Structure 1
Amino acid sequence: MQPAATARIGITAVGAQLPARRLTSQQLQDEITAGGRLRLPERTFEKATGIVTRHFAADDEYASTLALGAARRALAARGLDPLDLDLLLFASATRDVAEPATAHLVQAELGSRAHALDVSNACNSFLNGIDLARSMILAGRARRALVVTGETPSRAMRRDPSGAEQFRAGFAGYTFGDAGAAVVVEAVERGGILDVETETASQHWETGGIPGGGSRHPRGDEYSYFRGGGTELRGVFEKIGLDILTRVAARTGLGWDDYARVLVHQVTVPYLERFVEATGVPEEKLVVTVPELGNVASATIGVQLDRIRDELASGDKVLMIGLGGGVSLMTMVWEAS
């Protein structure tokens, strides 16, 4: 199964899945403030975040459900059977259960028999999964991989804050929406993944996250909600983010004009506007999803890629920029085949 030394590995198909349930930020705000626990001016959520709507998974929909829907779309786009896969990576900040790996739940429903495992690195999980799939194919451990994500961060959103303090601590969670995405990764004759770069600042791991579910806090609802400061996270990203883009440009020789599209993780509209201001990326290169979908965690870039895949021609280059709690940044340069 050893690939040729000059093998190119690329993304050959993409799929996405959004839950049917859709609600406005004002509807969410009304739910959070029901019963008089909090009093907020009309459209506070929308004005603060720029998020107008988002999709929430139904009670009988899970992270694996959204991943499965996206996976089937990606396989259909490539004309593949599930048994054509020999590697399945569930790469997400969300999971169905603590054990086993959610990849097995997806695989059981999909009907594949691939080597299956989870990849978890907050909102960078999906890009990390693509990179791991590429690496395993280059190492001769797989021929064709399916990388899937299913994100249901809405379930880590505190719906009944006791007061202003709990509300402020969990406010970043009110940016969330749910979504799934999937890509097929395999050898290609031209193009493919040209460059990968990472930057990690793990000393900031406490900046934001969901503390529950691990050995520190295995049980207890209080630890199951997202908590963290969006402003602090943004400060860390801005401090280390520009350097990674400078390194990519120096190594690849590519500037903004060389990219057909730039896909970036999106948390809020003000956050995205600050990204544009700090980096100088032309706004027309972006695929703006956050006003419509909110922060869909690691599914963000996959959903954006699904939306532009049909408009890309062979040779078009796409820059993907991931941001994740922990804190990590990741870039990937991909050329359409």
Structure 2
Amino acid sequence: MKQIGTGIAITGSGSATPATTLTNDGLSQIVDTSDEWIVSRTGICQRRLAVPAESLAVLAASAGREAIAMAGLEPSDLDLILLATSTPDDLFGTACLVQARLGAIQAVAFDLTAACSGFVFGLVTAAQFIRAGTYRNILLIGADVLSRWVDWSDRRTCVLFGDGAGAVVLQASDRDRLLGFELRSDGTQNSCLNLAYQPQSQSLLEDTLIGQGTFQPITMNGQEVYRFAVRQVPEVIEKALFRANLSVEQVDWLLLHQANQRILDAVATRLKIPPEKVISNLAKYGNTSAASIPLALDEEVRQGTVKPGDRIVASGFGAGLTWGAAVFEWGLK
């Protein structure tokens, strides 16, 4: 039997983006492209880019601070900080740096990597700690600084990505607001989207070789990723809704990873969800990877569009390949 107070409520949100904006017209001065070409293929008009002094930890902590305040908590109330990111400041992990910046002295902190699916995977992971009765107050942050790893001479990829952070607070509740979820992975399609390490052979001794190198810029097979998303995302959403015992018509908002407006439109069409129920802000920020879902959610919450009790189905999809969906009610404890 479930313990009393081990349901999940999502009680606060926050976001942070760098001040520097790169428009499509600006990009056209770097590569052979145009505003019309980018908008027609992606729906993106501009993206935010972190300057060298803007670390992932700074953006993540700023978003987290807003979410904590909205939830009516203090950083010292947190039991766990979970940072979903593929672009840490330190390969050993950045969540502990965020913990220190927030002054969350009671919280354990660790990173989770699932690329653009990271926030949804993180949401489900965080929920298990609450459902088990282990923790009561969790800060989940999705943050990425993909501009560090973009090939700015490749117009197929450099037009897509931006930097940012988004966060939510999950709290233990007598009623469970995470209504259903479904997670998936398929490593056979890993080559479709990569930020890969490339070793270079180095001899230490005559019979001892090691590989030392660095990570290479993002590579992507855009057509395959598009086909994958349009085929798999509606299916995983339907499975999450089935687990929640809900129909598509009972959902107030569709909140997809902000990858490409054509993907958002195609998924909504497949599910027969009207455009007015689809949350989209990628025109302003581009693809911010693990940050995109919580960043878009926070904007709608602060504008009053998403209201307490609204039912949201969120789906992330991307490198791995990974994808998943979660159905939750916003803002009621």
Which of 54, 61, 84 is the matching residue for 1:61?
54
Whether the aligned pair in 2 keeps the contact of 1:143 and 1:186 (CA below 8 Å) is: yes
Distance apart, 1:150 and its partner CA: 2.0
Which of 126, 129, 135 is the matching residue for 1:133?
126
The 5 Å alignment of 1:1-337 reads 4=3, 7-30=6-29, 32-33=30-31, 39-40=32-33, 43-99=36-92, 101-113=93-105, 114-159=107-152, 161=153, 167=154, 171-212=156-197, 219-220=213-214, 223-309=215-301, 310-336=304-330, 337=332
Over aligned residues, Cα RMSD in angstroms? 2.3
In 1, Cα distance between equivalents of 2:79 and 2:288: 28
What is residue 36 of structure 1 aligned with on the other side?
Answer: none
In 2, Cα distance between equivalents of 1:67 and 1:40: 32
Distance apart, 1:217 and its partner CA: 7.2
Distance of aligned partners of 1:40 and 1:173 in 2 relative to their CA distance in 1, 3 Å threshold: closer
In 2, Cα distance between equivalents of 1:255 and 1:89: 30
In 2, Cα distance between equivalents of 1:251 and 1:257: 15
Question: What secondary structure is seen at the aligned counterpart in 1 of 2:13?
Answer: strand
Question: What secondary structure is seen at the aligned counterpart in 1 of 2:172?
Answer: strand
Q: Which amino acid aligns with 1:83?
A: S
Which runs of 5 or more residues in structure 1 are unaligned?
A: 34-38, 162-166
- Using structure 1 for the length normalisation, give the TM-score: 0.87
- Using structure 2 for the length normalisation, give the TM-score: 0.88
Whether the aligned pair in 1 keeps the contact of 2:84 and 2:140 (CA below 8 Å) is: yes
Distance of aligned partners of 1:139 and 1:283 in 2 relative to their CA distance in 1, 3 Å threshold: same
In 1, Cα distance between equivalents of 2:133 and 2:178: 17
Distance of aligned partners of 1:12 and 1:89 in 2 relative to their CA distance in 1, 3 Å threshold: same
Distance of aligned partners of 1:6 and 1:83 in 2 relative to their CA distance in 1, 3 Å threshold: closer
In 1, Cα distance between equivalents of 2:239 and 2:2: 28
- The sequence identity of aligned pairs, in percent, is 29
Distance apart, 1:5 and its partner CA: 5.6
Q: Which amino acid aligns with 1:57?
A: A
Q: Which amino acid aligns with 2:135?
A: A
- Write 1 or 2 for the structure with the bigger share of strand: 2
Whether the aligned pair in 2 keeps the contact of 1:320 and 1:332 (CA below 8 Å) is: yes
Count of residues in Structure 1 that have an aligned counterpart in Structure 2:
319
Whether the aligned pair in 1 keeps the contact of 2:241 and 2:327 (CA below 8 Å) is: no
Distance of aligned partners of 1:241 and 1:314 in 2 relative to their CA distance in 1, 3 Å threshold: closer
Question: What secondary structure is seen at the aligned counterpart in 1 of 2:115?
Answer: coil
Deviations, residues 64-93 of structure 1 (Å, cap 9, x unaligned): 111011011111112221111111111112
Distance apart, 1:8 and its partner CA: 1.3
Question: What secondary structure is seen at the aligned counterpart in 1 of 2:58?
Answer: helix
In 2, Cα distance between equivalents of 1:12 and 1:42: 38
